[in-house]
Structures are given as structure tokens and as C-alpha cells.
Amino acid sequence: MATTENDRDVTNGAALAAFLAAGIGAFAMGLVVILNEVGLFAVPALYAPAGGVSGRTTLAAVIWLVGWAVLHHRWKRRRVEPRRVHAVTLALILLGVLLTFPPVWGLL
Amino acid sequence: MDTKLFTERSIWTMLHGIVLGGGALLGLSAALFAVGTMHGPDSVDATAQRQGRNVGWLTAFVAVALWLTVLVGTYVSFPPYRATPPEGLTDLARYPRSLLQSNPGTVWLHSFAMEIKEHVPWIAAMLATAVAFVGVRYHSRLLNDASLRRMAMMLLTICFVLVSFVSLLGVFINKVAPLE
């Protein structure tokens, strides 16, 4: 069943899927960076002149897009309670940004 | 004497930092203002529809500008920045990373500033894309639905802070070790 304009008037699932996926992408970026910094998982470079950053950022972007696709598919016709999604999204973004900060790497 | 005003590398740096990054920051400022001020009672009149469409396209512009900034930064500007100089070279002017690391006073510009610039802008681009998707798909509902507007404002604000911060770091790096 296709989503109509009226469906969009009452559902918010697609919007919340996009927001939460952005949080997942941010956290994925932080996680990939910190795993690389502590030597647990080094993503190979996809473009040698740019080095490892090309692999790390591409992997995080793929996780973001896959997460978004899955959430969008599940939520696009639903009305989702926004408060918890907002809180989780902001927490994931905060964690993701923190994990990309070099001073944090030294704490681990 | 044949003197080039700008080298190809410096032109790419300006495109990355001033045209695309600066354009994204301007767009972010406008989007924050628009989403923050253009809300009102739930209305489906032509003005509200037009405002919603315009805000949607504005957020889409921000997302596209940020992605272009990120991609040019990662795949065009970063490789010459991190290039390894030949053994024994003393003039490191064309090797910014090595130049920064050769002076204890500027090491932080690589180990802190550039490390942040490598990853954080990608996060900002993801956040901007989420808001752009909602703006383009939902039009005026982004402005009239309190919960969507609140979350969009939050993501745009985080995005603005992150992009401003990495832009400032970029200015510092380019001041000490420009890509010439």
C-alpha cells in the first residue's frame, strides 16, 4: 500500500526513522573511530591516498544508511511515540561525537 | 615572472572551506532561523505550504553542501595534507601534516584538530540529511508539528555547533600549514 498525503498527515514514523538513523550513524562513527584507536578493529583504507579515514567513514555511512533503510521500512506507516526516540537519538549523537574526540581516546 | 596567485591545491582548499563549508554554515543559519520562527497554528493555506516547501529545499541545500564539503575534504584536500615527504627533505611547506608534527607547538593541530576534522563533519552531514529528508517529505508539517520541529531544531543546532567548530579548526590548520 502506498503512503498517501493523508497518511503523512498522521504518521511520523518516517521522520523519526530518519532522526534515529542519524543518531545510529553518529554513534557508528564514534564506535569505528574508538575501536581503531584502541587497536581492536582497523577498517582498511578504501582510497589509499586518504588512508584509513576513507574506510572508517565509509563503514559508518553504510551502517547509517542500512539502519535508516530498516527503520524506514518498519516505521514509515506508523505513528511512533517521539519522546523516547528523541532521547535515544540525542544520546547516540552525544556518544558518537564524544568518541571521535582525541582527548577521550587517552582515557581508554 | 610567472607567478600563480593560487595553486590548484589552494583552490580546492578554498572550495572546500569557504564555498562549500561557508555555504553550508550560511544555509544552517538560515534553516535554524526559518525552523525556529516560521511555525504557527496548524495551517494548510498556500502561504504555509510554500513556507514548508522553501524550508524543505533550504535544508536540502544544507545537506548537499555539507556532503560536498565532506567528500572534497576527505578525498581531495586530505591526501595532499597527509602525504609523506621524501627522506631528508628539510622544507616541509608542501607537506602540511609533517610540517605540523615537526614543531612541538603545532603538533596539536594534527593530533587534535585534524583528527576531529576527519570524522566529525561526517556526523554533521548525517544529521543535516535527516532534517532535509523530513523537510522535503513533510513540508509544512516540519514547521507545524511541535515534536518534529523541536527535534529538527536540536539536530540543526548540533550540526551548526559541530560545523562551526571544525571550520575554526580548519582555519587554524590552514593558517600554520596551508595547502600551497
Q: What does the pLDDT look like over B106-131, one tens digit per residue? A: 999 999 999 999 999 999 999 999 99
Task: Give how far A60 is from chain B: nearest CA, Å.
Answer: 9
CA-to-CA dists, residue A2 to A7, A77, B47, angstroms? 9, 9, 27
Interchain contact, A97 vs B137, CB within 8 Å:
no
Q: Residue A42 sits in which domain range?
A: 26-101
pLDDT at position A8 is 52
Residue B60 has pLDDT above 90, yes or no: yes
User: What's the pTM value of the predicted model, to 2 decimals?
Assistant: 0.93
Mean pLDDT rounded to a whole number for chain B: 93
A45-A49-A54-A55 Cα dihedral, nearest 10 degrees: 0
Q: Residue A26 is nearest to which of B111, B115, B123, comparing CB atoms?
A: B123
A45 neighbourhood in chain B, CB within 8 Å: none
- Name the least confident of B50-54, B102-106, B162-166: B50-54
A9 neighbourhood in chain B, CB within 8 Å: 141
Give how many domains chain A has, as a whole number.
1
Q: Is residue A18 part of a domain?
A: no
Interface test with A, best of B12, B122, B169 (most A CBs within 10 A): B122
Cell of B76: 581531495
**Touching check for A50 and chain B: CB below 8 Å?**
yes
The tally of CA atoms less than 13 A away on the side-chain side of residue B27 is 26
Q: Is residue A3 part of a domain?
A: no
Residue A17 has pLDDT above 70, yes or no: yes
Interchain contact, B154 vs A12, CB within 8 Å:
no
Answer positive or negative: Cα dihedral of B97, B15, A98, A13: negative
Place of cell 548540533: B158
Residue B132 has pLDDT above 60, yes or no: yes
Q: Is residue A41 part of a domain?
A: yes
**Touching check for B127 and chain A: CB below 8 Å?**
yes
ipTM of the complex: 0.92
**Touching check for B130 and chain A: CB below 8 Å?**
yes
Q: Residue B134 is nearest to which of A15, A93, A102, comparing CB atoms?
A: A15
Give the confidence band of A1 by pLDDT, cuts at 50, 70, 90. Answer: very low
Region B56-82: mean pLDDT is 97
- Name the least confident of A3-12, A98-107, B138-147: A3-12
Q: Is residue A17 part of a domain?
A: no
Q: Residue B116 is nearest to which of A26, A51, A102, comparing CB atoms?
A: A102
**8 Å CB contact between B92 and B102:** yes
Residue A4 has pLDDT above 50, yes or no: no
Give the confidence band of B46 by pLDDT, cuts at 50, 70, 90. Answer: confident
Interchain contact, B158 vs A19, CB within 8 Å:
no
Region B31-58: mean pLDDT is 85
Q: Is residue A88 part of a domain?
A: yes
pLDDT at position A73 is 97
The residues near B20 (Cβ < 8 Å, ≥ 6 apart) are B65, B66, B68, B69, B72
Give the confidence band of B1 by pLDDT, cuts at 50, 70, 90. Answer: low
**Touching check for B111 and chain A: CB below 8 Å?**
yes
Tens digits of residue pLDDT in B29-41: 999 999 999 876 6
DSSP assignments along B73-91, one per residue:
IIIIIHHHHHPPPPTT---
Q: Is residue A10 part of a domain?
A: no
Region A72-92: mean pLDDT is 96
The residues near A81 (Cβ < 8 Å, ≥ 6 apart) are none
Q: Is residue A16 part of a domain?
A: no
Q: Is residue A54 part of a domain?
A: yes
Give the confidence band of A54 by pLDDT, cuts at 50, 70, 90. Answer: very high
**Touching check for B71 and chain A: CB below 8 Å?**
no
Tens digits of residue pLDDT in A20-31: 999 999 999 999
Residue B43 has pLDDT above 90, yes or no: no
pLDDT at position B5 is 85
pLDDT at position B49 is 84
